[in-house]
Structure 1
Amino acid sequence: MSLPAKNLLAEETSPYLLQHKDNPVHWRPWTADALEEAREAGKPILLSVGYAACHWCHVMAHESFEDPRIAEVMNRYFVNIKVDREERPEIDQIYMASLSAMGEQGGWPLTMFLDSEAKPFWGGTYFPPEQRYGRPGFPQILEAVHEAWQNKRSELSKSAGALSAHVKAQLASDRGNPVSPRATLESLSTRIYSMIDKDLGGLRGAPKFPNAPFMRTLWLSGTADHRSAVTESLAAMLAGGIYDHVGGGLARYSTDDRWLVPHFEKMLYDNAQLLRLLCWVYSDTADKLFRIRIEETVSWILRDMRVEGGAFASSLDADTGGVEGTTYLWTKGQIADVLGNQAGSFFETFSLARPEHWEGDPILHRRGHPQYLGEPRETHLRSMLDELLSARQRRDQPDRDDKVLVDWNGLAIGALAEAARLLERPDWLNAARQAFRFVCESMKDGRLPHSFRDGRGVFPGLSSDYACMISAAASLFQSTAEQAYLDQARDWADNLRAWYLDDSGTGYYLTASDAADLPMRIRGDVDEAVPSATSQIIEALLALSMLSHETLNTHVSDVAEAALGRTVGQAYGQAGIVYVAALVEMSKKLLMVEPDRHRFFVPVANRNLDPSRFDIVITDGRPQNLPDGMSINADKRAAYLCIGQICLPPFQSSEELEAALRRANQPKTSW
């Protein structure tokens, strides 16, 4: 297949790919045609993977991909393929694992060189246009790879074949030996706790990431020390510059160890996971500062991330006008101009910092006052922050990647529904419903896309898309008691089994069986910034099982057992699977019979969130969703709590239920 000798990205929907449509590089999207072109021409593939909010992706684009001289070399020697890692995460995972197997540090932009069969033989991340930062210049690399391809092709092909086989064994491994979920959770959470920065929160060192998979593992492990580490880590990051005090929401990571200097890109997935953690911590501690951060984060999601139709965009760029963070930065004079004589009061709580090596305007934070300061003071601070927000919205804004990623939207919908339950916000619940409806309407032939923009979807979706939307449906069912959400979740679970289940029936692949243009089919066992696709699948099927007409079914247990066995051979990224495997063993079911419109027990359940508990409201007089051997009177108000295989006597009063839920979720002093 001979493709035109020009850039072919103009017809793509990905904002990241469209950022590169005017490059002089003859970019191709990742397609079967592009791979066939490489085979027919006998050329190696230069694969460049990034995403729209990535600062260093922009830097490499400006320095190299917009340079006609460098582009000419790329076009002469290579078939050049550009991939949006968010739109095609399965491609990114394969080649990021390849880079890691070479002993190199991963990151984006990812720059990989592949043979004509799309097998990787060498790569790296960002390369400057000339030698600096201890890295070779990109043109020199292009020439060196070309020379090796011309003179040592058989050696490169042999090396590429061995590397691909290694990556396939790593990413598509078979079932491992059974291990104990609780013992594995205890061991992993103890290791994570040993890495916690006891003074500054989060993991020791820099850069500092929120690392939601680690935080929720500590939370589920349930010891008082581990839960305190989560609470203190959240408090520390939410006082630092990584948190947007003016507009709400968390940046992707902090470049320093004090949560002070953010990398300013803001991702939907980070904030969806943050929101859920904040709900658990606020439910447990009743610390009103966490409630404020929930409200601010939801406000940011609904204000800045909603697209037409009600779903949510993927990210906000780190840069504004090519400079990182300028939208978010303030000088003391700028704040004084906005707040006038209130500025002195503002700076009694907030500070501006310009740490060493930071070249921009100062960064706003409240590290000196991380604690709740009382309702009058916090209300006054919020009113001043709102004035700053109004002024900030008149500035140039960062670009928004407005593609709708189905799995990330599932995370956000579930978190919004949970926050709506906790804080009694029907407007938030309505926003979650609208986003859910958007995703349902994006389906084609009953199947989900992975990405959707401008009326066009990227099909077929990934198993993570089905998993996250099943979990979102489960959250909405628990928030509304509307059976339609559970029915939709069952349909998606059927699709998951039809297109993604492996031959053993105890595991799932990341990609569908009819997905074309893939060099290999992988599972998705390893966590990234979000828990792994495998862990998302297990969590989704667990929720559906617990909320449906059966007790925990054996399929969920089998999938969890097989996945946990595979983690034994993993060097990193196991927290998601360890978490859900333990969740399967620790799951609880709460049935609340509410025979009239008055909700007697539901408010108690809503303010006592527990990630291991699944809540069902029975309102129509028909017993349903009962554990084996259990019978209830569906006409008489009562609450029934089952922990594992043991069901407690029915609760007649809300006070009794509240005490039982608190006991069931009480931190342990030790394992």
Structure 2
Amino acid sequence: MYQQANLLGQESSPYLRQHAHNPVHWRPWGTLALQEARETGKPILLSVGYAACHWCHVMAHECFEDQQVADLMNAHYVNIKVDREERPDIDQIYMAALGAMGEQGGWPLTMFLTQDAKPFWGGTYFPKNSRYGRPGFMDVLQSIDRVWREDHARVVQNVDALTDHVSARLDAKATAVPLDKQLFDQFAANIAGMIDMKKGGLSGAPKFPNAPFMDTLWLSWLRNGNTQHRDAFLKSLRTMLQGGIYDHLGGGLSRYSVDDDWLVPHFEKMLYDNAQFIRHATYAYAETKDELFRIRIEETVDWLRREMLANGARFASSLDADSEGEEGRFYVWSASEISDAAEFQAFRTTYDVTSEGNWEGKTILNRLKSPDAFNTDTEADLLKVRQILFAQREKRIHPNRDDKSLTDWNGLMIRALTEASRVFQRSDWLELAISSYRSISESMIDGRLPHSVLGQSRLFPGLSSDYAAMINAAVSLYEATQEKTFLSDASHWLEALDRWHLTADGNYALSASDSTDVIIRVRGDQDEAIPSATGQILESIIRLATTTADYALQQRVEQLAENAIGRVLEQRYGQAGVLNSASLLLEPMKLVLVTPDREHPLIRAADSRSDPRRTDIWIRFEENTKIELVPGAGELIIKKPAAYLCRGFVCLAPVETAEALAELLKPKPSEH
């Protein structure tokens, strides 16, 4: 007899634990829950969400905390709760199934499955009773149960066809397509054509940072000198960092803006959004020297240290949008809460504080109407007021934090902090990155990375994105420190990635081969808010091959990229990450710095110009040392300190001064 109880209390996900006291008899996803469905003959009710999801909280309050709803769920279904951040492989399968049914996706995801975990009907948010033009969950539960019992043949009739359709989409097979610069350039032109050049971001609302698209624009600028694409990138980044989507008191970027002005955020703060914005702001500062980018990075790293260290080292996943049951309550202000004394007047004007407010009678602090920097004295006065208001805000009830540490998201942040530490000469940021890196590395068991860690709990097996993100983090740490242990780690993780995720056709699956609870091993080609697993894998292997001068590995990743591009051209949506990474193979860049020490001006010149296409290698200068810059090119005898920039298998003439190197590394605008 199966337990008539909620079984989420000991799970590694704070989101699942939030539901541990629901009257619903929730089970975590896994073989035991699937076995229960098979043995009881009940269909599965699958609910997928995440801790910072506003509508997930709404549906939980309206439905899952309600005894009447719970009684129906418990009587007729095996109820399974999934944290999409812990199990993106599960989420992708059933989100694709919902799309195949012609429904708009989103979270919470509510799916009904057969005992074999095959989907047959679904939706997203349902209120308890019909409203907002949506069917009530009580009615849905009763209708699905009735059809399951009385017309079972109709339920299962199309299940296999639907599953095959989803499999064809997520485990796509396609003919390899050779690398073609024109393909990447056309894709960048398509993205640029969708940018709102007055406000930044994609035209219309809602506005997301859309990091993969931002990467596309920046890579196009670096590759072709396309200033329109550079300006679209910079406009988007500047506007979001002055908008309400940015927390002007505490630092950190929110998930997205619900309007087309970047004013009203969906107030949740995600680790991955902030990792990617730190990278982008690092590029932007290196290009423009605009202090806005430096300040926003500094403020956000302070926020990471203050609020996002889950165990003193690893980074937590997110902060909720809600506090005290209300979205944004922690962040917004009434006019009466901000003094109208003389010393506050400049602040009120600069940050859009008015008696009527700018959102539902409240004020979301922003600088959209005053984006340009004032003089130093004015900015110092504004900082004093921000500090006063921050201290005042700290007394409020804070949003909840999702304390689980996801390996791939931590990998993204480690890389971002490492790159920023080089540009801004911040050894403390590098130490923060290394601390997280060591904590993640120490969480391995039998040489394998977990996907998630919470306290002493680890979720195995990891995903392909975990290994890719940590390889990228390790290569970046190697560039910053030149400690070869980081390259050893990267090589070890590539071996694990190959062992557990490489499929028979020579490509990679998101789930490990010993994941026994998925009906499809998805490829992981689809971008979400971060580049896809496939995109991250390609980039990580390209960078490792370039850094280690492993020509065989480079040939292998070229085949992987051509396979992935073939799939992209079949599906044609949501795969900027694959294209961005594959474009790096057009001309892999390596900068070899031969100097007597790491304090040499050539090193500083290289550090100050961050370029996602380039890997940097340091060799200690000793006169008459012989080095080989690229495989098979022959040895050079080093006579004096110099920097050698190699593009593919062609190395340019060495440069000996920081000024010459800075000029060499600077993108060259072209006419468009």
Q: TM-score higher than 0.5 here?
A: yes
Tell me by how many angstroms 1:360 deviates. 6.0
In the alignment, is residue 495 of structure 1 matched against residue 499 of structure 2?
no
Which secondary structure state, in structure 1, belongs to the residue aligned with residue 368 of structure 2? Answer: coil
How far has the Cα of 1:395 moved from its partner? 1.2
Alpha-carbon distance in 2 for matches of 1:321, 1:161: 44
SS in structure 2 at match of 1:328? coil
Alpha-carbon shift at residue 151 of structure 1 (Å): 1.9
**Structure-2 residue corresponding to 1:547:** 547
Contact 1:97–1:167 (8 Å) recurs in 2 = yes
Aligned to 1:639: 643
Preserved contact between residue 212 and residue 273 of structure 1 (Cα < 8 Å): yes
State the Cα distance separating 1:323 from its structure 2 match. 0.7
Provide the rounded CA distance (Å) in 1 between the counterparts of 2:189 and 2:313: 41
Report whether the alignment pairs 1:608 with 2:609: yes
Amino acid in structure 2 at the alignment position of 1:324:
E
Match in the other structure for 2:307: 304
What's 1:286 paired with?
289
Task: Give the Cα separation in 2 of the matches to 1:95 and 1:620.
Answer: 56
- Local SS of the residue matching 1:363: coil
Q: Given the superposition, is the C-alpha separation of residues 26 and 255 from structure 1 closer, same or farther in structure 2, using an over 3 Å criterion?
A: same
Over 3 Å counting, the alpha-carbon distance change for 1:276 and 1:249 in structure 2 is same
Deviations 1:431-466 (A, max 9, x none): 000000000000001100000011111001000000
> Are 2:627 and 2:635, in contact at CA under 8 Å, matched by a contact in 1?
no
Residue 139 to residue 356, structure 1, CA distance change in 2 (3 Å)? farther
Contact preservation (8 Å) 1:313, 1:402: yes
The answer on whether the counterparts of 1:47 and 1:80 sit within 8 Å (CA) in structure 2 is yes
Q: Provide the secondary structure at the position in 2 that maps to 1:10.
A: coil
Q: Which residue of 1 aligns with 2:94?
A: 95
Q: State the one-letter code of the partner of 1:187.
A: Q
Letter in 1 for 2:521: R
Q: Deviations over 1:158-198 (max 9, x none)?
A: 21111111111111112434144422211211111111112
Shift of 1:292: 1.0
- Which residue is 1:536 aligned to? 536
Instruction: Confirm whether residue 508 of structure 1 aligns to residue 511 of structure 2.
Output: no
- Alpha-carbon spacing, 1:620–1:5, altered in 2? closer, same or farther (3 Å): farther
Q: Per the alignment, do residues 661 and 632 of structure 1 end up closer, same or farther by CA in structure 2, a change over 3 Å counting?
A: same
Alignment partner of 1:65 is 2:64: yes
Contact 1:266 1:317 in 2 (8 A): yes
Letter in 2 for 1:380: D
Distance in 2 separating the partners of 1:373 and 1:289? 11
In structure 1, how many angstroms separate the alpha carbons of the residues matched to 2:77 and 2:230?
52
Structure 2 equivalent of residue 203 of structure 1 = 202
Task: Spell out, residue by residue over 1:533-559, the C-alpha distance to the aligned partner (whole angstroms, 9 max, x if none).
Answer: 000000111111111143472011111
Q: 1:48 to 1:623 in 2, by over 3 A?
A: farther
Is this contact kept in 2: 1:595–1:634, CA < 8 A?
Answer: no
Given that 1:320 and 1:398 are in contact with CA atoms closer than 8 Å, whether structure 2 keeps it comes out as: yes
Cα pair 1:403 1:451 within 8 Å, conserved: yes
- Taking structure 1 as the reference length, the TM-score comes to 0.96
Query: For structure 1, which segment, 168-177 or 442-451, has the greater mean C-alpha deviation from structure 2 after superposition?
Result: 168-177
Instruction: Please say if residues 8 and 28 of structure 1, whose CA atoms lie closer than 8 Å, have aligned partners that are also in contact.
Output: yes
CA gap 1:42/1:546 in 2 versus in 1, 3 angstroms: same
Contact kept, 8 Å, 1:550 with 1:626, in 2: the verdict is no
CA distance in 2, matches of 1:353, 1:13: 44
Shift of residue 307, structure 1, vs aligned partner = 1.7
Q: Give the drift of 1:405.
A: 0.1
Q: What CA distance in whole angstroms lies between the structure 2 residues aligned with 1:492 and 1:116? A: 36
Provide the rounded CA distance (Å) in 2 between the counterparts of 1:385 and 1:28: 45
Q: Which residue of 1 aligns with 2:374?
A: 373
Quote how far apart the aligned CAs of 1:625 are: 7.3
The 1:473–1:195 alpha-carbon spacing in structure 2 relative to 1, beyond 3 Å, is same
Tell me, yes or no, if the aligned pair for 1:181 and 1:578 is still in contact at 8 Å. no
2:627–2:637 Cα contact (<8 Å) kept: no
Q: How much has 1:597 moved relative to structure 2?
A: 5.1
Q: 1:234-253 maps to which residues of 2 (within 5 A)?
A: 234-253=237-256
Structure 2 residue ranges without an equivalent (≥5): none
**1:668 matched residue in structure 2:** 670
Query: What do the CA deviations read for 1:14-61 (whole angstroms, capped 9, x no partner)?
Result: 100000000000000001010011111111100000000111000000
Aligned ranges 1:576-615 → 2 under 5 Å: 576-596=577-597, 598-615=599-616
The answer to whether the Cα contact below 8 Å between 2:33 and 2:80 also exists between their aligned partners in 1 is: yes
Superposition map of 1:75-86 within 5 A: 75-86=74-85
Comparing 154-163 with 431-440, which one deviates more in the overlay?
154-163
The within-5 A match list for 1:205-604 is 205-222=204-221, 223-336=226-339, 341-352=342-353, 358-359=359-360, 361-505=362-506, 507-551=507-551, 553-596=554-597, 598-604=599-605
Q: CA RMSD in A?
A: 1.7
Instruction: Look up the equivalent residue of 2:668 and give its one-letter code.
Output: Q
Count of residue correspondences: 664
Is the partner of 1:640 in helix, strand or coil? strand
TM-superposed CA distance for 1:620, in Å, is 7.0
Describe the superposition over 1:450-489 as per-residue Cα deviations: whole angstroms up to 9, x where unpaired: 0001111100100000000000011111111111111111
Give the counterpart letter for 1:531 in structure 2. Answer: P
Deviation at 1:104, TM superposition (A): 0.8
What SS class does the counterpart of residue 95 from structure 1 fall into?
Answer: helix
Q: CA deviation at 1:354?
A: 9.2
> What residue number does 1:38 align with?
37
3-state secondary structure, aligned to 1:641: strand
Amino acid at match of 1:122: W
Structure 1 residues 97-132: Cα deviation after superposition (integer angstroms, max 9, x where no partner): 111111111110000000111000110100011111
The 2-side partners of 1:31 and 1:353 are apart by 52
CA contact (8 A) 1:181 1:564 kept: no
How far did 1:300 drift? 1.4
Matched residues, percent identical? 51
Query: What is the deviation of 1:572?
Result: 1.4
Secondary structure of 1:530 counterpart: coil
1:627 has 2:630 as partner: yes
Does the aligned pair in 1 maintain the 2:14–2:403 contact within 8 Å?
yes
Letter of the structure 2 residue corresponding to residue 17 of structure 1:
L
The answer (yes or no) to whether the contact 1:354–1:363 under 8 Å persists in 2 is: no
With 250-259 and 570-579 compared, the bigger mean Cα shift is at 570-579
Following TM superposition, by how much is the alpha carbon of 1:69 offset from its aligned partner in structure 2, in angstroms?
0.4
Tell me, what secondary structure is at the counterpart of 2:571?
A: coil
Deviations 1:356-406 (A, max 9, x none): 994362211111111233444333323321222122112110000010000
Distance between the aligned counterparts of 1:15 and 1:355, measured in 2? 38
1:287 touches 1:372 (CA, 8 Å); kept in 2? no
Residue by residue over 1:272-314, the C-alpha shift from the partner in whole angstroms, topping out at 9 and shown as x without a partner, is 0111011111111111111111111211122211122411000
Cα separation, partners in 2 of 1:355 and 1:566, compared to 1, 3 Å: farther
Is 1:656 aligned to residue 657 of structure 2? no
The code of the aligned residue for 1:451 comes to S
Matches within 5 A, 1:136-175: 136-175=135-174
- Segment of structure 1 superposing worse, 569-578 or 79-88: 569-578
Aligned counterparts of 1:557 and 1:145: Cα–Cα separation in 2:
48
- TM-score calculated relative to the size of structure 2: 0.96
Contact 2:358 2:364 in 1 (8 A): no
Letter in 2 for 1:148: V
State the distance in 1 between where 2:174 and 2:121 align: 30
Amino acid at match of 2:583: A
1:527: how far off?
A: 0.4
Residue 640 of structure 1 aligns with an amino acid whose one-letter code is Y
Read off the aligned partner of 2:458 and give its amino acid letter: G
Aligned pair in 2 of structure 1 residues 458, 355: CA closer, same or farther (>3 Å)?
Answer: farther
Quick check: 2:621–2:640 contact (8 Å CA) kept in 1? no
* SS of residue paired to 2:635: coil
Give 1:353 deviation, angstroms: 6.7
SS, match of residue 254 in structure 2: coil
Change (3 A) 1:377 1:643: farther
Which stretch shifts more, 363-372 or 559-568?
363-372
